[in-house]
Amino acid sequence: MARTELESKEFYSIGEVSKLCNVSKKALRFYDEIGIISPDKVSPSNHYRYYSRNSLLDLTIVKYYKQMGFKLEEMRGLLNSEEYREMERGFLVKINELQDEQMAVNVKLTSVSDWYDLLVEAQTVIENDVREVSVKFIEPQEYGFMDQDFIADDREAVINLEWTDYLESIKNEITGPVNITYPSWRDRLDGTCKKMRIMQKLVFPSKPEHQIQMGGEMMLSCYHIGSHDTLRETYEKIEQYAANHGYKLAEDSWERYVTDCWTTNNSDMYVTEVRIGVSR
């Protein structure tokens, strides 16, 4: 239908409005039902609905409100409002609502992206059989943490119900790999370890007492592929490397669980990075 023809029409049938504005007839009937936009004329003989050109323009406004995320019930109040102050309140409520939604989506996106990165890291380690000891500087990073009594069962330690309860109590969430540090790697291997510290990156800003900085030092690092029951092999490999290259190992150790029981039930696919600080 040409524009000149459109402009010359006084009223448009519901079918014409549906086609011109790309809005279904069902939606138009519902808009009428809830008082958003009603037909300007209804034929008494056949009950056909007819809309003025001004109603077509109102439909364009409704579509834009919909784009902004307003529900139909919210639109009704805003479209009928004659006070800016009332409209400001409606828009401020929507801004706060959308900011909450944006934060929730950002949390999900961060968590999924971090998990994806760990899967890629683990796959690369496994495909290239990366098991050599390396010396590297670990960048400092803030972690949420919790000191605990040693948990011998690796699944219990990594999934860690106590840690989950603690995070809920401080109203925070975590992302990235589970990290566990032990005050003595020798005690860890001998089975005499009494304490451990679980750490993960926090999603939301937190109080200083809920965070600890780790890294900022040179460490020996070595990936371990497979069950945690055989981690001793990697620790011994690090110990031998330190002896061969004149390094002095720190007392504590850091296990970074790239993939574990959170990711797969197949322990042969576990990838763990063991880190121990070194000095000359």
Q: How many CA atoms lie within 13 A of 33 on its CB side?
A: 7
Mean pLDDT, consecutive 10-residue stretches, the chain (280 aa), reads 58 92 93 91 88 91 92 85 85 94 94 97 98 97 97 95 97 96 96 97 95 97 97 97 97 98 95 97
SS3 assignment, position 205: coil
Its domain, for residue 27, covers 3-80
Cα 117 to its chain centre, rounded Å, is: 13
Is 242 part of any domain? yes
Residues 55 and 141 in one domain: no
Total of domains in the chain? 2
Cα–Cα distance, 217 to 33 (Å, whole number): 68
**Phi, psi at 8, each rounded to 5°:** -80, -15
The CATH number covering residue 10 comes to 1.10.1660.10
Looking up tokens 């780790």 gives: 214
Q: What is the pLDDT of residue 1?
A: 47
Is 86 part of any domain? no
Residues 167 and 67 in one domain: no
Q: What is the pLDDT of residue 8?
A: 60
Cα–Cα distance, 118 to 10 (Å, whole number): 63
Residues 54 and 165 in one domain: no
Q: What is the pLDDT of residue 6?
A: 53
Alpha carbon distance, N-terminus to C-terminus of the chain: 84
Question: Full-prediction pTM beyond 0.85?
Answer: no
Cα–Cα distance, 200 to 203 (Å, whole number): 9
Produce one character per residue of 232-249: b if its CB has 16 or more CB atoms within 10 Å, e if not.
eebbebbbebbeeeebeb
Residues 126 and 35 in one domain: no
Residues 70 and 175 in one domain: no
Residues 170 and 70 in one domain: no
Residues 247 and 163 in one domain: yes
Is 271 part of any domain? yes
Is 16 part of any domain? yes
Residues 130 and 264 in one domain: yes
Name 175's bridge partners: 201
Quick one: tokens of 66?
Answer: 């919909």
Is 93 part of any domain? no
Q: What is the pLDDT of residue 81?
A: 76
Is 196 part of any domain? yes
Residues 155 and 202 in one domain: yes
Residues 123 and 8 in one domain: no
Cα–Cα distance, 169 to 115 (Å, whole number): 24
Q: Which helix (H) or strand (E) holds 278?
A: strand 271-279
**Of the candidates 50, 32, 30, which has an alpha carbon nearest to the alpha carbon of residue 40?**
50
